[in-house]
Homo-oligomer: A and B are copies of this chain.
Amino acid sequence: MPRVSRKQADLNRETIVDAATRLFRERGLHGISVVDVMAAAGLTHGGFYGHFESKEALAKEASERVFKEVGTRWRERIATTDDKATARRALIEPYLSAHSRDNPGESCPVVAFAGDMCHESAESGLREPFMAGLNRLLDSFGKLMDSEDPTENRQQALVQYSLMVGALTLARATRGEALSDEILEAAQHFLTAEKPEPPSPA
């Protein structure tokens, strides 16, 4: 049925980008076709280039949207409490949950895209939203560290976030094996255990 209303066309565009934010996270930046995204949005492939200049342009736009959404989600979770340790748990526990592992389409875009980003050329338009999004997430996360020293604070954030990314990546790669749960639990226990203090003051 050709020629829908301008309003419907705008809605369709949103639907396509939304489908893309899910599918790219589920199957990787090169794991879905234009036909796949359009079908997921309930459309046929021909109309795609009326909305986007290229498949990469959609990937870039979907990437920007998903980083924005996840940034907002993080800020909401952090805002539920004034206590840093509690806020950190409010981020980490869902992040390292079985639900997060089993639903990459709704979860962290850093984990979803990091592997592909390694093979992306330096000129790829996908690097910029990835870097910007990652930096924003790291900034949010850094505010929840418990050191007074900003340098140490930053290091803590980098270490803890790297652990979260590594654990979720490995848990997904080993999904279905006992090891997968073991990794999530070990990382979660380590990151959310009550701590005497940061190690430096002792």
Selected contact of A195 from candidates B104, B187, B190, B201, CB within 8 Å: B201
Q: Name the residue of chain B whose CB is nearest to the CB of A166.
A: B166
Taking the closest CB of chain B, its distance from the CB of A63, in whole angstroms, is: 13
Q: Which residues of B contact A134 (CB under 8 A)?
A: 170, 173-174, 179
CA distance A196 to B161 in the complex (A): 23
CB-based contact B187/A158 at 8 Å: yes
Q: Which residues of B contact A104 (CB under 8 A)?
A: 118
Is A164 part of the binding interface, using a Cβ–Cβ cutoff of 8 Å?
yes
Is A140 part of the binding interface, using a Cβ–Cβ cutoff of 8 Å?
no
Is A46 part of the binding interface, using a Cβ–Cβ cutoff of 8 Å?
no
CB-based contact B179/A135 at 8 Å: yes
CA distance A130 to B158 in the complex (A): 27
CB-based contact B163/A162 at 8 Å: yes
Selected contact of A167 from candidates B135, B156, B162, B202, CB within 8 Å: B162
Is A40 part of the binding interface, using a Cβ–Cβ cutoff of 8 Å?
no
| Number of identical protomers | 2
Is A27 part of the binding interface, using a Cβ–Cβ cutoff of 8 Å?
yes
Q: Name the residue of chain B whose CB is nearest to the CB of A182.
A: B158
CA distance A117 to B173 in the complex (A): 5
Taking the closest CB of chain B, its distance from the CB of A194, in whole angstroms, is: 10
Taking the closest CB of chain B, its distance from the CB of A198, in whole angstroms, is: 7
Taking the closest CB of chain B, its distance from the CB of A10, in whole angstroms, is: 32
| Given the contacts A169-B169, A170-B114, A202 and B159 also touching, CB distance less than 8 Å | yes
Can you name 11 A-B residue pairings with CB atoms under 8 Å? A26-B119, A28-B119, A115-B173, A122-B176, A135-B179, A138-B179, A155-B190, A158-B182, A161-B166, A163-B163, A163-B166
- Please report A residues at the B interface, Cβ cutoff 8 Å: 26-28, 30-31, 104, 110, 113-119, 122, 130-131, 134-135, 138, 152, 154-156, 158-167, 169-170, 172-177, 179, 182-183, 186-187, 189-191, 193, 195-196, 198-202
